[in-house]
C-alpha cells in the first residue's frame, strides 16, 4: 500500500518535476508514479527529479525512479 495520496493536487505537483525529467516516459495520463505505480512503458534511467519534489519529502518516501520501480512504500 502506497503512502502517497492519489489526488489531483499531488498529480499536478508531480508533473512539475516528472514532466521535465529526461526519464519521464511521457505516456498520456501517466503521473504520480510514487502513488500509482510504475509507467506502462518505462524508459532507461537518465536522472530523476523526485529528490527535489515536495511530495516525496512530505510523505517521507525513500528511493527514486518510481516510474521504473513502482510506488513509494
- State the residues that interact with ligand SF4 by CB under 6 A: 14, 17-18, 21, 23-24, 32-34, 48-50, 53, 55-56, 64-67
**Which grid coordinates are listed for 61?**
518516501
Minimum distance of ligand SF4 from residue 19's CB (angstroms) = 8
Minimum distance of ligand SF4 from residue 30's CB (angstroms) = 9
Q: Are residues 50 and 66 in contact, defined by beta-carbon separation less than 8 angstroms?
A: yes
- For ligand SF4, give the closer residue by CB, 3 or 53: 53
Minimum distance of ligand SF4 from residue 33's CB (angstroms) = 4
Return the closest-CA partner of residue 22 out of 57, 67, 72. Answer: 67
Whole-angstrom Cα distance, residue 55 to residue 62? Answer: 11
Amino acid at each position: 500500500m502506497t503512502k502517497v495520496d492519489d489526488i489531483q493536487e499531488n498529480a499536478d505537483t508531480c508533473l512539475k518535476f516528472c514532466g521535465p525529467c529526461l526519464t519521464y516516459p511521457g505516456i498520456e495520463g501517466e503521473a504520480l508514479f510514487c502513488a500509482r505505480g510504475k509507467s506502462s512503458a518505462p524508459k532507461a534511467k537518465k536522472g530523476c527529479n523526485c529528490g527535489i519534489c515536495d511530495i516525496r519529502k512530505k510523505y517521507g518516501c525513500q528511493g527514486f525512479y518510481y516510474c521504473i520501480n513502482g510506488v513509494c512504500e
